Amino acid sequence: MFRNFKVVSQVVFGRGCFNQLDDIISKKRESDATAMIFLIDDVFLNKDIKNRIKLAENDEIIWVNVDDEPKTEYIDQLTAQIKKKMKLKSVSLPEGVIGIGGGSAMDLAKAVALMLTNQGSSSEYQGWDLIKNPAVYHVGVPTLSGTGSEVSRTTVLTGPEKKLGINSDYTVFDQIILDPELIKDVPKQQWFYTGMDCYIHCIESLTGTYLNTFSQSFGEKSLDLCREVFLENPDDADDKLMMASYFGGMSIAYSQVGVCHALSYGLSYVFGIHHGVGNCIAFNCLDEYYAEGVAEFRKMMETNKIELPANICPDVSKKQLKIMTDVSLVLEPLWENALGKNWKKIITREKIESLYKKMLR
């Protein structure tokens, strides 16, 4: 059986297209009384973004904090907060949720849109296709490019037991607004780490056993764009990185990521290391799986004068190694994509632990 997967229904791209947000969402408003919720990364608290958003009577801006990557607990708290606010306004449910920010803020928006219409805690839905009801209309506006969250069918959450996404067709945004002007002030390190997330998506997709022409077509274009952005510094780097992220996300949508992502999830879970930098730390130790990609990645680091964090935890405990290995091994499709159907015979717990030790020293 071939996967029949959902893609984002509507996309607008271009410098300044964020100005069309009001026009786009107003078509979804049933009446003047309906409410839209804007979940905005609080890094923009003192920036002019909020002045560019037209609020209708019952709309709300909720500033979200992403110092920690999205946790199920935070999703549940935001969902309850929105429901309470709506009740006070005698609105049953908001008409839509608009997420503005990097991968974390976009994932928060996707998860909240899902949890407004699904009972219980978001931790109950971490996995594949566990969501029962369609989400409310949700829009993604990336302000940082690389994760591909704007096109993916997952929202990655850290829960009480695992770091695992809510993967479902309902997770996919209904609309995305790709405005390269929004990413121009991203600090250099963050720009690089999140951009490398995209580069690694491409390498893992293009070298994986799940590869097909669909994924290859998107992956190769994304890889070309990453090479331009991170090795040649073109004038239109922001436009190119934004499209690389989109294409990279499309590539893994019909294939999968691999060893680097499987290991990086463990680093995030135990040490709270953010996705982009965690991927870079892991990828830098994976010559034996992705020799050419790792060599080029080091060239990109050198070109952009990036130094990875070192000495993260040279004395990592046995318990920590066990937890990281457990988190990593849950991600079976990633291992299968990277190493083939017999992956369980190839990758042992000892091997994973030795890779983690290398990353943390």
Which residues form the interface with ligand NAD (CB under 6 A)? 41, 43, 66, 69-70, 101-105, 107, 143-144, 146-149, 152, 154-156, 182-183, 185-186, 190, 194, 197, 274-276
Buried b (16+ CB within 10 A) or exposed e, 322-351: eebbebbbbbebbbbbbbeeebeeebeeee
Partner interacting with residue 238 (select from ligand NAD, Zn ion, none; CB below 5-8 Å by kind): none
Crossing angle of helices 349-360 and 275-283, rounded to 10°? 110
C-alpha–C-alpha distance, residues 282 and 355, integer Å? 8
Is the Cβ of residue 58 or residue 194 nearer to Zn ion in the bound state?
A: 194
Question: Which backbone phi and psi does 269 adopt, to 5 degrees?
Answer: -65, -45
Amino acid identity, position 112: V
Nearest to 30 by CA among 96, 89, 114, 98: 96
- Look-up of token digits 């928006």: 109
Nearest distance in Å: CB 80, Zn ion: 29
Tokens of 66: 């992403």
Partner interacting with residue 245 (select from Zn ion, ligand NAD, none; CB below 5-8 Å by kind): none
Partner interacting with residue 256 (select from ligand NAD, Zn ion, none; CB below 5-8 Å by kind): none
Task: Count Cα atoms within 13 angstroms, Cβ side, for 27.
Answer: 8
Partner interacting with residue 251 (select from Zn ion, ligand NAD, none; CB below 5-8 Å by kind): none
Nearest distance in Å: CB 87, ligand NAD: 29
Question: Which backbone phi and psi does 178 adopt, to 5 degrees?
Answer: -105, 95
Site residue total, Zn ion (CB under 5 A): 1
Contact 201, 216 (CB under 8 A): no
Q: Could you tell me which stretch among 4-12, 190-198, 228-236, 240-248 binds Zn ion (CB under 5 A)?
A: 190-198
Quick check: 197 binds Zn ion (CB under 5 A)?
yes
Nearest distance in Å: CB 215, Zn ion: 15
C-alpha–C-alpha distance, residues 256 and 201, integer Å? 8
Nearest distance in Å: CB 100, ligand NAD: 9
Is the Cβ of residue 66 or residue 86 nearer to ligand NAD in the bound state?
A: 66
Nearest distance in Å: CB 261, Zn ion: 6
Chain position whose Cβ is nearest to Zn ion: 197
Nearest distance in Å: CB 164, ligand NAD: 10
Is the Cβ of residue 58 or residue 146 nearer to ligand NAD in the bound state?
A: 146
Is the Cβ of residue 185 or residue 292 nearer to ligand NAD in the bound state?
A: 185
Nearest distance in Å: CB 256, Zn ion: 11
C-alpha–C-alpha distance, residues 274 and 193, integer Å? 9
Handedness of CA 122, 100, 32, 90 (dihedral sign): positive
Q: Would you tell me which residues interact with Zn ion (CB under 5 A)?
A: 197
